[in-house]
Amino acid sequence: MKIGMIGLGKMGGNMARRLRGAQIEVVGYSRDVAEAQALADACGLIVAESSEHLVELLSPPRIVWLMLPAGEATETTINQLKGLLETGDLIVDGANSNYKDSVRRGEILSESGIDFVDAGVSGGVWGLENGYTLMVGGQAEAVGILKPALEVLAPAADRGWLHTGGVGSGHFTKMVHNGIEYGMMQAYAEGFSLLEASDDFDLDIADIAEVWRHGSVIRSWLLDLTHEVLAEDSNLSAIEPVVADSGEGRWTSIAGIEMGIPTPVITAALMARFSTQGKQDFAAKLLAMMRNQFGGHAVSQSSAGDD
């Protein structure tokens, strides 16, 4: 089996390494030439100089797996590949793309006889060692062609990957997965914040995280990672309190609204992330001034405004 991979960053690069470990040939292209060459030296990846060169190095039916940022980068590359690939070839999008984009792309590519699979990929930087959870949408025939690679990338050949249904279902499933992740992370963060703020007891929150990992109903891999963080620095003194959101949580909340399915925990976790990004600063200032106006409550003045 031979696969082309475009995008060799943290996820794409480690996926290429895992495929090579099972003796699957990988042709890789990255705009970062040094990144591609490092992988070639490490695992025997074949370096392509461009997307066109990558297609030339593959034999029909070609498989091209994209691990690019969702949005414009993925859209541009798929449009480019549409003009390079032939009937029977297959494009796999392993990014966190919006499932509606995946449905649209699948329809457009099918008009040219090109198969399309949307693969939701979970596992992060640990996937190389532990394997990746794969949620795969597409036609059964296309998924069948991809099956040997899926069995290698997953934690085991018979578990950790699933053909979820038609095109778009893989990214829809991954979107909901990430929405759940938002809620779980927020619950852990709030709980440990309560423990850390307690003045009544001398609590070691790293030790509490450790004991919860064994037999507790809230044990999870996220808790394992939380324990590692707290064991290293329980005060998190070097960390800025800013949490980005990649888009998946937004899409999950929007889907809940569109479908009339309540998702209050996921949506609240998303709003909590927004609150760390400076986007509610004006609202907080206005709230402070409202309290000052009706109750004469003191207002904290910013030093930036002092002369």
Does 118 lie in the same domain as 16?
Answer: yes
Instruction: Please choose, from the candidates 238, 244, 240, the residue with its C-alpha nearest in 3D space to the C-alpha of residue 279.
Output: 244
Does 98 lie in the same domain as 26?
Answer: yes
Does 72 lie in the same domain as 11?
Answer: yes
Alpha carbon distance 183, 181 (integer Å) = 5
Residue scoring higher pLDDT (43 or 124):
43
- Has residue 186 been placed in a domain? yes
One-letter amino acid identity for 202?
D
Statement: residue 303 has pLDDT above 80 = no
**Number of domains observed in the structure of the chain:** 2
Does 76 lie in the same domain as 6?
Answer: yes
| Distances, alpha carbon 85 to alpha carbons 1, 82, 145, 191, in Å | 18, 6, 16, 51
- Has residue 302 been placed in a domain? no
Alpha carbon distance 241, 236 (integer Å) = 9
End position of a domain, from candidates 112, 142, 165: 165
Q: What per-residue confidence (pLDDT) applies to 244?
A: 84
Does 9 lie in the same domain as 123?
Answer: yes
Does 124 lie in the same domain as 43?
Answer: yes
* Residue with the two structure tokens 């994209």: 66
Q: Confidence band (pLDDT; 50, 70, 90) for 307? A: very low
Work out the mean pLDDT of the chain and round it to a whole number: 93
Q: What per-residue confidence (pLDDT) applies to 280?
A: 80
Does 181 lie in the same domain as 101?
Answer: no
Alpha carbon distance 93, 6 (integer Å) = 10
Does 114 lie in the same domain as 254?
Answer: no
Statement: residue 14 has pLDDT above 80 = yes
Does 128 lie in the same domain as 31?
Answer: yes
181 carries an active-site annotation: yes
End position of a domain, from candidates 165, 199, 222: 165
Alpha carbon distance 208, 230 (integer Å) = 10
Alpha carbon distance 79, 105 (integer Å) = 9
Statement: residue 305 has pLDDT above 60 = no
Q: What range does the domain containing 37 cover?
A: 2-165
Query: Using an 8 Å Cβ cutoff, are 270 and 264 in contact?
Result: no
- Has residue 297 been placed in a domain? no
- Has residue 288 been placed in a domain? no
Q: Confidence band (pLDDT; 50, 70, 90) for 304? A: low
Does 119 lie in the same domain as 190?
Answer: no
The domain that holds 141 is classified in CATH as 3.40.50.720
Q: Confidence band (pLDDT; 50, 70, 90) for 306? A: very low
Provide the b/e sequence for 220-235 (b: ≥16 CB within 10 Å).
Answer: eeebeebbeebeeebe
Which residues touch 123 (CB under 8 Å, ≥6 apart)?
A: 130, 131, 132, 133
The domain that holds 200 is classified in CATH as 1.10.1040.10
pTM (two decimals): 0.91
Which residue among 25, 151, 181, 196 is the active-site one? 181
